[in-house]
Structure 1
């Protein structure tokens, strides 16, 4: 019985020690054929940027609460979200968007920054 417990424990330990990240093992989210602000970009901004880029936030001097504001700052947004982890100017602060999320912003710009 001890051998079975030992073998089971060893197998669990080996599987648990796998070093791939969640993003590496999950399939990347498909990027829509046509990316729009309302459908694709705004949910990402609301979930990851509004905390700082709204009135009262740490970056309230550059609010991103509307389509026009995000459109105006898209080049800065793209620069900052693509910076390497550890860069003090990387956004969002204290985190990172997935490559699929970054690609939504890139494709939105390439598609012409469509609102709806």
Structure 2
């Protein structure tokens, strides 16, 4: 009986393994050479950043609103805010820290990471 149980366990172990995926295949996206999720090849304002800004910032940062002195409704305005107004630093603050943007609470880390990568990638428009 013990041999039958051992054989069943061994058979289950062999049939549950697949030789088509290695740890490297699972952990490393093709062509990246680094573990983690497959990064977006090129981050651009139009494809990736505009929707984040629209959803989190323009409620205040547009004409007629409380932060109309720093509008964020166009590519040029958002780019200028990154380059000259500390936008990256303010969106990376933690809840409760003075100066955090958006004021209602920190946006998701994934959105912050995309905006930071957009800056690293050269603030491309399209």
Q: Deviations over 1:39-76 (max 9, x none)?
A: 10000000000001000111100101100010011141
Matched, 1:60 2:71: no
Whether the 8 Å contact between 2:94 and 2:106 is mirrored in structure 1 is: no
Greater relative contact order (Cα 8 A, min sep 6): structure 1 or 2? 1
Instruction: Name 1:82's counterpart in structure 2.
Output: 92
Instruction: Name 2:22's counterpart in structure 1.
Output: none
Instruction: Name 1:102's counterpart in structure 2.
Output: 112
CA distance in 1, matches of 2:55, 2:104: 14
| Count of residue pairs brought into register by the alignment | 89
CA distance in 2, matches of 1:70, 1:30: 26
Tell me how large the CA RMSD over aligned residues is. 1.7
Distance 1:94 1:65, change over 3 A: same
TM-score (normalised: structure 1): 0.71
Q: Deviations over 1:60-105 (max 9, x none)?
A: 0010110001001114110100012101310101111111100001
